[in-house]
Structure 1
Amino acid sequence: MKKTVFLAVLMGGASPFAAIAQDAAKDEIIVTAQRREQSPQDVGVALNVFSGAELVAQGVDTVNRLENISPGLEIENQFGSGQPSFSIRGVGFRDYATNNAPTVGVYVDDVAYPIPVMTQGVLYDVERVEVLRGPQGTLYGRNTTGGAIKVISTMPTDDFAAGATLEGGRFGRVDAEAFVSGPVNENIRMRLSGATAQGGAWQVNRETGEKIGDVEQYALRGLVAADLAPDVEVLFNLHGFIDTSDGLGLQLFNDSLLDGSMAHTSRQTSYGSSAAFETLTGIATNQHPFRNNEGWGTSLTLNAGLGDAQLTYIGAYEVLNRKEYNDFDALTVGGAGVYFESSADVMSHELRLSGETNRLNWVGGLYYSQEDLNELYQSDFVASFGPGFAVSTPYRQKVRTMAAYIHGDYALTDLVSVIAGLRYEDETRKLRDLGTFSLGTGPLNFANGTVDGARENRDLNSDNLSGKIGVDITPAENVLLYAHFSRGVKSGGFTAYNTLNPNALTPFRPEKLNAFEIGFKTSFGDIVQLNGAGFYYDYKDQQVQSAIFDDATGAIVGRIVNADSEIWGGELEAILAPAPWLTLGQSLGYKTGEFTSFTDLDTGATGASGMAVYVDRSGEDLGFPNVSYQGFIEAETPVAKGWSARARFDYAYRDTLSLPLLGPAYAVDDYWLANAQLAVGPDDGRWELAVWGRNIFNTDYDETRNFFIGPGGIADVAAPGMPATYGARVSVRY
């Protein structure tokens, strides 16, 4: 019997909220990866789908933690900040600025979130998550090179339901949630859910003993579904969140010369800023990292049946107001402090028409979006470069995107189907009024002698064609073979960092990915499910953090540049049910890649010689983890009449992150993580008690590494992962 699943994931650090008693892992989950309801085993796309029950059991409490359960997926918060970098199969983009598009599209109820930092605090009450690997664009509003993450919220129910969950964990962490759902009248249904997360400080200041890491988050969503006519339904979504949590404190992994600090016990941190930075921002010199973010959004989805076709309109508006302070040097002095004040809003419209006949399934659509970002980015480099380097970098960016797409699959025979899709996109990105200004020395607008406060403007106009063609073969029942070619495009953009040289703002080009993939999906009764895929990517104009040399000034200028590369690899996934009470899951991913054309500036040799020195990086490794491995063991047994107990143990391995452009000293070691959960409750799902542990072997690991340099030395810093946590959860449902 299928059990109802309830989950909320509060992005930005909340613990997973409970699923009521369930056996959903053994039920088939329906996906909409191709804009229609299908079994995942019938979709010729490499994807993973996770029910709410699975996410709860594996401790996935943010979208970022999907990397521990989906092969080939890595998600890093740049320097531990709220700016995430999403990567699938090695296709990623490391950038701590707010203004550039991601390689992986994130969608919530089919609404795209094109500004990555917007994905960190707006999501909860999830029915399922789909992770699609490979270029996307002929089925979705946005165009991406790496893939897509689709989050589908729990919808209003036809019958009345209500529930609440309370969870307590190590370090004083408390999470709570409640929901109510049901009919208002014969034609209207609603769902209201809210969540909060509090406490959980797990880091310690190595000088003062102050604890940091507390979360303070609130979220609320209202959904109203209405039947306007027999074949017309509308869904109205209004949601908002507040996040005033502590930020992540970086840690030293080598001794620092900048302030005499020594690298101490893992997960100890430090922070501090200069008096000039306090004057500039109003942030106290001993303030720990923090965020003070809030956002809200609304969307309207209209579905109308038109005979053999379905018309869908999705209109959405999302707003984020961000205030975030981070200390990137982990020192008590102002070596590399940063403060973001961001105001962003995204308006989008998508009109889609789809249909199906006995042999043809098709969908076509038009997409329009407009992004407005106003940001003040302030930096504290006083300890590194002198008293004039408490600086502000304000700018505005507007992005207008228009696209048209069409996709179809046609069954030539009962065994063979052909798939084809095409997308055209036109985009304009306008960067306005960017300048870098020093508090100590007046308005230093770059290094061109301008002191009157003038600012730089840049435009980037691009139009691109992308698409897909392939074949699906079903030689036997429950066997699918597929071979596809697809081309994806990621937007170009601007290096919107603090800079003293206008050449830093020269736009980088859109990147293009030509992807070749073959795969299979098989099921052998209810005992074994085995899927696999292999891929080769020809990566053109890959966007890479690097630098250029300005001949006029003799300056080394940090900038995102374009390079060519190739990536290849594959995944193998299996689910086994050797007994009705036992389920085993395993997934293995492998990928490797190298630059095929990249003439890079050798910054060390250039600085020493005073003239440009270049190095050919063709053949060099791209630096992402090669191997990812995940697995779980899940068992269920009756403990009394009408009662069951469920136990789950899962584990994940992440390979070494080499970061070759930084050098071997900054490689991030490989690590294992393991979680466990034991739950008990009645079979009718009215309540559940669970105890859980995450990172149960207390693995000491870093997520990223980097360095900051100044006249006094080098600060080698790392963003640490969380230690072992454990807790208990109680859930009730009516």
Structure 2
Amino acid sequence: MSALRLRPRPAPLAAAIALLLPALAAAQEPAAPPVTATRLDAVTVTAERREENAQDVPASLTTLDGEKLDVLASGGNDIRFLAARVPSLNIESSFGRSFPRFYVRGYGNSDFDLNASQPVSLVYDDIVLENPMLKGFPVFDLDRIEVLRGPQGTLFGRNTPAGVVKFESVKPSQVADGYLRLGYGSYGTATFEGAFGGALTESWSARISGLYQHRDDYVDNTFSGEDDAYEGYDDSALRAQFLFDPGTGFSALFNVHARHYNGTARLFRANIIEPGTNDLVDGFERDEVAYDGRNESTLDTEGASARLTWDLGRVSLYSVTGYESAETYNRGDIDGGYGAVFAPPSGPGLIPFPSESADGLPFHRQLSQEFRLASNEWGRFDWQAGVFWFDEAIKIDSFDYATLAGGVQDGYAQQKQDNTAWAVFASAEYDLTDRLELAGGLRYTRDEKDFSVVRTQSPTGAGPLSLSTSPDATDTSGDASLTYAVTDDLNVYGRIARGFRAPSIQGRVLFGDSISVADAETVWSYELGTKASFWDNRARAGFAVYRYTVDDQQLTAVGGSANFNQLINAEETVGQGAELDFEAYLTDSLLVTVGASYNDTEIRDAGLNIAPCGGGCTVTDPAAPVPGLVSIDGNPLPQAPRWVGNLTARWSLPVGADEFFVYTDWAYRSEVNFFLYDSVEFTGKPLLEGGLRLGYLWDNGRYEAAVYGRNITDREVVVGGIDFNNLTGFLNEPRTVGVEFTARY
């Protein structure tokens, strides 16, 4: 699409902020710096596939590392703890600790099919994790997390039009080091995390990292009378890395990793939302459900990678080879209750019909290969170019069970898909002057899918079914930026970027007789920003305003009275907003970080009509000409909070050679729509969650003992729903408190 087709309608806030950029750029040194000698370390990132100072990267990004990352992940938290901890980032899941769905700047995908694609890519140790069941790999022994906002269509490729979340593990070295962390808290939550690494020979080093997390079942099933029936889990992961570096200009880093999860699937709770509001019903109890169906979840993933580097003098050659696989089975009582109105007793509340289903991934295999050539300090001009290849094969099982007949299987379908993609790319940076840099890149991508689905058993009495489709797409994506160093400590930049997401396929035919295919989507994004360090490197800040337009955005119309999911394309979606990152030592003993974002999204398609909820909810969208449908033109994107804010503060008190500290963190996101249509009941309330940690460090920081609390105000909010049946929802994580001990060596 051409940039000339954009219809500029900047929000007043975004326009006002944009006008402030020249003033920000002119601000050489803020007045009245605090009296302190503590300075911030430079933040090194690989957002552009090279190690560089984050201040020099012409894009909006946030990093999490060190103690902050450890604190946020404490108490057995899974990857969803990142939600709202970074400007413009939201994460949610209807699967619980697996299948996280990422949203950046309000731009994501709420599809829960195991074949779903997302416009936010997760890259773990340089390997893209494409299938959503891979994306929940636990967070442990990480050097840092980088969240790159906006299209990353040059160096990371397809399926990155909203951004990239990038994980970097701690790498092996010749220096022996490691840590051991033990924790215990509410609900019998036990955590074990550790790593050890060092030299094997003069050329070989290794690092072994492991994680184990456990929580007891604590939710009673009041229908069966079983106490402590649900919400427990055992989650373990292992990573082994081996580095060969003989000092001859060649190095090789090998990585093998695996995860095993066994626990409860997401607990869907019938009629927990008060009709006409988005409040929980009176008398709601978090630790109770009433189920007559089964609930279980298992997940096994494994993978390996090889990253080879040849230093050839003027250039370096990189090879990144990856293998990933996953196997999973998730079964839940989707109606959230027991019985049905036509098969009493039933409840809680209205249960129009029973629903018990499962999704499985009996086979998954992903292979990827990249070769990249990069210049080594060519003066004013630097460049990199490469080729990328991706191949994925999956099988997806869909099951339905007759709860009222004892849970016997009464529906089965299997999807199969082969996806191959390849790309060529190049990018370059040129110093026009000592202070002005021009950068840009292009990527050409070819994506092909062969998809088929077979239904052999229908819960509705329909006959067998066999369907297939083979969509493909090509696209040229890329970016261009201009960065000006106002001073050595202050940069301003402008960036334009184009992103691309390949076609998607939905083949859930248990309750329908058709395949839905969403065409490829493309996005143009425009961004202005500034990054600065000040107060003699005791503080730094980043600020950006942006606007993007998506053509043919892939959306998922879920549920409804037909209990059928369908992929659709919206003619156009517009997003705009602003983002702020701030970090400072206000005193020697007080470190504060602040993040904030404003994200305004709007679907623009006058002819886009979908089915609303199947019953019980109050829909506020206008009725469409076709009976039973509503228009979603003008609605915000689902799970897209307009406001996100976060704050951390660490205060320390020396105790001789030791240290006592207090660490608090808070994250806020404003209300969200769970679905494409606007409904009073299926609008998630604003959510504010806080954490607190009190700790003592001794022996030069080698040992730490701490008490912690997560969601310390015990906020209870519905964070997602099931809309085809009744006012069924699921909740945020409960308050947990506990203790941790860490030994570093």
Smaller-chain TM-score bracket: 0.7 to 0.9
Does residue 495 (structure 1) correspond to residue 506 (structure 2)? The answer is yes
Partners of 1:672 and 1:57 in 2: how far apart?
17
Structure 2 residue aligned with 1:588: 596
Distance 1:602 1:433, change over 3 A: closer
The 8 Å contact of residues 219 and 289 in structure 2, kept in 1 or not, is answered as: no
Question: 1:671-708: per-residue Cα shift (whole Å, max 9, x none)?
Answer: 21110111212253321111111111111122213323
**Higher alpha-carbon deviation: 313-322 or 330-339:** 330-339
Q: Hey, what's the Cα distance between the residues in 1 that align with 2:140 and 2:613?
A: 50
2:262 partner amino acid? T
- 1:654 is matched with 669
Comparing 48-57 with 421-430, which one deviates more in the overlay? 48-57
Asked if residue 573 in structure 1 is aligned to residue 581 in structure 2, the reply is: yes
Distance verdict in 2 for CA 1:360–1:557, change over 3 Å: same
Alignment of 1:500-515 (within 5 A): 500-502=511-513, 504-515=514-525
Aligned residue number for residue 160 of structure 1: 176
Q: Which residue number in structure 1 is paired with residue 52 of structure 2?
A: 38
TM-superposition CA deviations, 1:236-277 (whole Å, max 9, x none): 111112111222312241479xxxxx875242453645xxxx
Q: Are 2:369 and 1:352 equivalent residues in the alignment?
A: no
User: Once structures 1 and 2 are overlaid, which stretch shifts more, 55-64 or 506-515?
Assistant: 55-64
**2:450 is aligned with 1:430:** yes
Q: Which aligned pairs between 1:275-290 and structure 2 lie closer than 5 A?
A: 285=293, 287=294, 289-290=295-296
Distance change >3 Å, CA 232–CA 210, structure 1 → 2: same
Q: 1:232–1:142: structure 2 CA closer, same or farther, 3 Å change rule?
A: farther
> Displacement of 1:605 after TM fit?
12
Residues 440-479 of structure 1 aligned to structure 2 (within 5 Å)? 441=461, 444=462, 451=463, 453-479=464-490
Change (3 A) 1:605 1:133: closer
- Determine the C-alpha separation between the residues in 2 that align with 1:122 and 1:424: 32
Contact 1:313 1:351 (C-alpha < 8 Å) held by counterparts: yes
Matched-pair contact (CA < 8 Å) for 2:645–2:669: yes
| Other structure's SS at 1:28 match | coil
**TM-score between both structures, scaled by the size of structure 2:** 0.85
Structure 1 contact 606–612 (Cα < 8 Å) conserved: no
Aligned to 2:33: none
**Number of positions where the alignment pairs a residue of Structure 1 with one of Structure 2:** 674
Compute the RMSD of aligned alpha carbons. 3.0
Q: For the residues of structure 2 that align with 1:239 and 1:609, how far apart are their CA atoms? A: 50
* Cα pair distance change 1:697/1:402, threshold 3 Å: same
1:396 to 416, 423, 426: 416
Whether the 8 Å CA contact 2:544–2:578 is kept in 1: the answer is: yes
Give the SS at the match of 1:41. Answer: helix
* Structure 2 residue identity aligned to 1:652: A
5+ unaligned residues in a row in structure 1: which ranges? 1-22, 257-261, 274-284, 445-450, 550-554, 710-714
SS across alignment from 1:53? helix
CA distance in 2, matches of 1:24, 1:330: 54
**CA shift digits 1:448-475 (9 cap, x unpaired):** xxx4x45111111111111111211111
Q: Does 1:29 align with 2:43?
A: yes
Q: 2:92 aligns with which of 49, 56, 76?
A: 76
Equivalent residue letter for 1:328: I
**Aligned-residue offset at 1:363:** 1.4
2:61 to 44, 47, 60: 47
Aligned partners of 1:139 and 1:363 also within 8 Å: no
Correspondence list, 1:248-267, <5 A: 248-251=266-269, 252-254=271-273, 264-267=283-286
Q: Which position in structure 1 is the counterpart of 2:528?
A: 518
Q: Any conservation in 2 of the 1:135–1:145 contact (CA below 8 Å)?
A: yes
- The answer (yes or no) to whether the contact 1:599–1:614 under 8 Å persists in 2 is no
Change (3 A) 1:383 1:521: farther
Is 1:340 aligned to 2:364, yes or no?
A: no
* Residue equivalent to 1:246: 264
The residue number in structure 2 matching 1:314 is 320
- SS at structure 1 position matched to 2:715: coil
Match of 1:213 in 2: 231
The answer for the alignment partner of 2:396 in structure 1 is 375
> What CA distance in whole angstroms lies between the structure 2 residues aligned with 1:635 and 1:159?
31
SS in 1 for 2:51: coil
Cα contact 1:548–1:601 (8 A) shared by 2: no
Of 296-305 and 493-502, the range deviating more from structure 2: 493-502
Query: Take 1:579 and 1:204, find their aligned partners in 2: how far apart are those partners?
Result: 49
Letter in 2 for 1:247: A
* Alpha-carbon distance between aligned partners in 2 of 1:467 and 1:93, rounded to the nearest angstrom: 22
Do residues 544 (structure 1) and 560 (structure 2) align?
no
Once structures 1 and 2 are overlaid, which stretch shifts more, 78-87 or 514-523?
Answer: 78-87
TM-fit CA distance, 1:229 = 5.3
Q: Distance in 2 between matches of 1:121 and 1:173?
A: 19
Letter in 2 for 1:128: R
- The Cα offsets for residues 104-123 of structure 1, whole Å up to 9 and x where unpaired, read as 11011100001111112355
Aligned to 1:56: 70
Q: Is the 8 A contact 2:173 2:206 kept in 1?
A: yes
**1:280 corresponding residue in structure 2:** none
Distance 2:624 2:300 in 1: 48
Taking the TM superposition and a 5 Å limit, the aligned residue runs for 1:44-193 are 44-59=58-73, 61-78=77-94, 80=96, 82-121=98-137, 123-140=139-156, 142-193=158-209
Question: For the residues of structure 1 that align with 2:222 and 2:408, how far apart are their CA atoms?
Answer: 29
Q: How far is the alpha carbon of 1:579 from its aligned partner?
A: 1.1
Counterpart of 2:708 (choices 679, 683, 692) is 692
- 1:345-392 deviation line (CA, Å, top 9, x unaligned): 1111011111131112211111101111111111347779x9999321
Does structure 1 retain, via aligned residues, the 8 Å contact 2:55–2:532? yes
- One-letter code of the match for 1:543? Q
The code of the aligned residue for 2:681 comes to A
Aligned CA distance change for structure 1 residues 615 and 99 (closer, same or farther; 3 Å): same
Map of 1:419 onto structure 2? 439
**Does the 8 Å CA contact 2:415/2:452 hold for their aligned counterparts?**
yes
Offset, 1:619: 2.8
Tell me: CA distance 1:387–1:40, structure 2 relative to 1, closer, same or farther (3 Å).
closer
Offset from partner CA, 1:379-418 (integer Å, 9 cap, x none): 347779x999932121111110111111111110011111
Q: Residues of 2 paired with 1:509 and 1:346: CA distance? A: 23
* TM-aligned CA distance change 1:293 to 1:500, over 3 Å: closer
The code of the aligned residue for 2:585 comes to: A
Separation of aligned partners in 1, 2:419 and 2:120 = 18
**Structure 1 letter corresponding to 2:114:** T
SS of the residue 2:83 aligns to: helix
Mapped to 2, the partners of 1:337 and 1:654 lie a distance apart of 32
Deviates most, 614-623 or 556-565: 614-623
Give the 3 Å change call, closer, same or farther, for CA 687–420 of structure 1 in structure 2: same
Give the whole-Å Cα distance in 2 for the aligned partners of 1:388 and 1:578.
Answer: 63
TM-superposed deviation, 1:514? 0.6
Higher relative contact order (CA 8 A, sep 6+): 2
Question: Aligned with 1:494: secondary structure?
Answer: strand
1:226 aligns with 2:244: yes
1:475-497 CA-partner distances (Å, limit 9, x unpaired): 11111101111010112111222
Structure 2 residues not aligned, in runs of 5+: 1-36, 276-280, 340-352, 616-622
Please list, as runs of the form range in 1=range in 2, the aligned pairs for 1:557-706 lying within 5 A after superposition.
558-563=565-570, 564-601=572-609, 603=611, 616-623=631-638, 624-640=640-656, 642-658=657-673, 659=675, 661-682=677-698, 684-706=700-722
**CA, structure 1 residues 141+634, in 2 after alignment: closer, same or farther (shift >3 Å)?**
same
Deviation for aligned residue 1:49? 0.5
Evaluate the alpha carbon distance shift between residue 557 and residue 694 of structure 1 in structure 2; reply closer, same or farther with a 3 A threshold: closer
Deviation, 1:340, is 1.7
- TM-score, normalised to structure 1, is 0.86
Deviations 1:488-538 (A, max 9, x none): 011211122234544x31411011111011010011123331211001111
- Aligned residue identity for 2:667: A
> Could you say if the C-alpha distance between residues 695 and 202 of structure 1 is closer, same or farther in structure 2, counting changes exceeding 3 Å?
farther
Q: How far 1:149 moved relative to its partner?
A: 0.6
The percent identity for this pair of structures is 23
Does the CA contact (< 8 Å) of 1:104 and 1:147 recur in 2?
yes
The superposition leaves residues 293-315 of structure 1 with CA deviations (integer Å, 9 ceiling, x where unpaired) of: 11211111101101111111011
